[in-house]
Structure 1
């Protein structure tokens, strides 16, 4: 792939560092970085969405048949959250691996762990044949997914963001976020096809295992696509030039821990919405509605396609009005959406479809700029690790427990629980953005 396909020069700290100066194999073009970001993120999101959908359609019956459908789904969502708890520890562990053995070794080990954890889930027995050992295996493999995802941070999004011209930073920032709708489209479409073409017995016996095997194949493709970049001399020089090198998590938290948490909370409204429109609706509709799950998944596929368009639109809007203004405005809209959520989800099929489609569009517009909202606050030598850990904590605080909390509150107090959860994320985002603005004003003064 040559630079002619994407004429975007990368500007370095020591003047223009064009990647178009030679035709050697190791030269890294901006288009290759963008493709590497999208492929890498799409593979990770696919893994997580496959697991999330299985938490509704498979695991309550397969792993928790001794519980009621509601309790079984809540238990599955508890396992779902474990990967997000493990993710920051994975980041810290694999940053140490990178410092000792290099970026290529780190990425290879992380993606091998991610792929092997995911494909091993396809081979798991159910509770009826293995008892609690099956649940223990599911827990361990889910933790493995989380540790691996934390370790798969490659710095590509930070490189794109730092290299972007000032007037195009919003557009560059959204590139990596396209992996989310792409991963969901693949996962939801695959489950919809299998769910509609197999009997319930066939689906629970072996059909659900196929997406987990596909995830392993996608991870292999992603590994080679990303290694093509990260082991190249040109890429390594670019990272070194911009001081994008790993540091210890302890050092990061000691020196700039405030920026880590500020970065995590600045996009919390978007992360809270993430699983509320992707995973939670499947659980609510499966438990409290007679609606076909295949039709719900098909609507979600359409919603994810709209979200992809919205992600790209967010790049243009952010370059016009500013990323922080866009995130603040979207937080307000998410707040308004959360107020309408109970009436939409608890109403007709049309109301449910409106909830899904509007929710996905809002998700695309907000999540498209959720990456690196305040990473400019980090000193250059801490930005590589700071961006990774801020993202980990945003997922942990905003998205990890979203399906569990939303379903638990809604089953007890009604769908107003969804509103309360989303509004808490909105409040955190608006407060974090306000604090960040005050910090920047003080720095300029």
Structure 2
């Protein structure tokens, strides 16, 4: 056995890698990473346009802000390849630590970035660079966190363990939106647009220190340690992935489209449209989103445990069929302008996001062998982000202008139908042995 293998296989101890510690480490990282990501999403809907883009038209400012929002989704597959390479070559733990650092530093620096009024065109350029770095960091995060949970899971409980990285986005969103809500309640519009919006970005530094503390205390997963011992690593995981496993990458990516579309239409687009077009007060809409995300969090364990009992495919088929139907509720509920109807719309969309998102924590890692699992799960997840989220707020803004909210709802239904087709083409993975794939 090589020295590296001996070092990693001898590192874990029952105390060091208790189930509770592993679960918390996989959960806390995704919560912090998605907090960082959603801080920008919320800021893009509320303030990024006026601060960094000198257009006279609010619509043009919103579209420019949504373009910078999409940049990170282009970067995420790059991060998945980059961190996936090292995650499959040297281990899950060290790669997860690095991805958290990249994301946290980029987010914190956005909080200190001068506005267009201060440094001119350099401001949006630097914003795009830091947004790209955010995407790189998040691209390496999710796959590693999902593997950390599922490669430790007992037989028959991978869905349950895999739900903890999936809970991270709900908690991250609640932290981000809750902080913006607190600022909206305590600051005037002028104070918020001048300096208040920077506070959530700067606060990321505190969360990253917490995440690093937790992650540095865990050891390598037993599945990866066993692969090292058997010399099952490949030199170029990305090349091997697309030579031999391109089909599950594509199916996994398309299956993820429904999750992303539901979430970013219900949050980023709806927040922007609700505040600017429906004239709902910012703090009121943020409070509605916080309420709706609680239902997303409640759906996550329900759906994950159901996927352990009935299989990943049946749960996802039911979830995507419901999402197709949910697209038709957008015009009558959200378009009504009634607060109760809007709350119901947001709850439906985000509950279904939780239903379709939860099984992915186990499903995507189950599609790939250990030697390319970090790369494969991360790439599939983040290509799904490009297809389902990167341009979703931008397209929704254009559709709403040209055809109304019914067109946006139809867009959601089409996205869900694509995911349904991918799920129907997949094999069931609930009983797969991760060491024998």
Match of residue 396, structure 2, among 406, 423, 435: 406
Task: Return closer, same or farther for 1:438/1:207 CA change in 2, 3 Å cut-off.
Answer: closer
2:184 matches 1:195? yes
User: d(CA) in 1 for partners of 2:197 and 2:43?
Assistant: 7
After TM superposition, give the deviation of residue 371 of structure 1 in Å.
2.8
Q: What residue number does 1:7 align with? A: none
Q: Does 1:422 align with 2:412?
A: yes
Following TM superposition, by how much is the alpha carbon of 1:375 offset from its aligned partner in structure 2, in angstroms? 3.9
Using the alignment, how far apart are the partners of 2:57 and 2:173 within structure 1? Answer: 28
Match of 2:225 among 240, 251, 263: 240
Is the alpha carbon distance of 1:22 and 1:283 closer, same or farther for their aligned partners in structure 2, counting shifts above 3 Å?
closer
1:325 paired with 2:310, answer: no
Contact map agreement 1:270 1:363 (CA 8 A) in 2: yes
Q: Contact between 2:324 and 2:416, CA under 8 Å: does it hold in 1?
A: yes
Contact map agreement 1:279 1:403 (CA 8 A) in 2: yes
3-state DSSP of counterpart to 1:43: helix
Aligned to 2:122: 133
Once residues 431 and 374 of structure 1 are traced to their aligned partners in structure 2, the CA distance between those partners, rounded to angstroms, is 16
Q: Any residues of structure 2 matched to 1:79-90 within 5 Å, and which?
A: 79-90=68-79
Q: Verify the 8 A CA contact 1:103 1:154 in the aligned structure 2.
A: no
Shift of 1:91: 2.2
1:356 correspondence with 2:346 = yes
1:146 aligns to 2:131 (yes or no)? no
Specify the alignment match of 2:104 in structure 1: 115
* Cα shift at 1:139: 0.5
Gaps of 5+ in 1: 1-16, 441-445
TM-score between the two structures when normalised by the length of structure 1 = 0.87
TM-score, structure 2 length as denominator?
A: 0.89
For 2:294 and 2:233, locate their aligned partners in 1 and report how far apart those are by CA, in whole Å. Answer: 35
Taking the aligned partners of 1:240 and 1:33, their CA distance within structure 2 comes to 15
Match in the other structure for 1:186 = 175
Deviates more, 1:312-321 or 1:257-266: 312-321
- What is the distance in 2 between the residues matched to 1:269 and 1:219? 29
Q: Which moved more, 1:172-181 or 1:381-390?
A: 381-390
Equivalenced residues, count:
416
Q: Could you tell me how far apart the structure 1 residues matched to 2:104 and 2:221 are?
A: 25
Aligned twin of 1:29 = 18
Report 1 or 2 for greater relative contact order, CA contacts < 8 Å, sequence distance ≥ 6. 2
Q: 1:140 to 1:104 in 2, by over 3 A?
A: same
CA distance in structure 2 between the partners assigned to 1:140 and 1:418 by the alignment: 30
- In 2, the alpha carbon distance for the partners of 1:47 and 1:159 equals 21
- Tell me which residue corresponds to 1:365: 355
Distance 1:339 1:21 in 2: 52
Instruction: Calculate the aligned-residue CA RMSD, in Å.
Output: 2.5
The question of whether the paired residues in 2 share the 8 Å contact of 1:110 and 1:152 is answered with yes
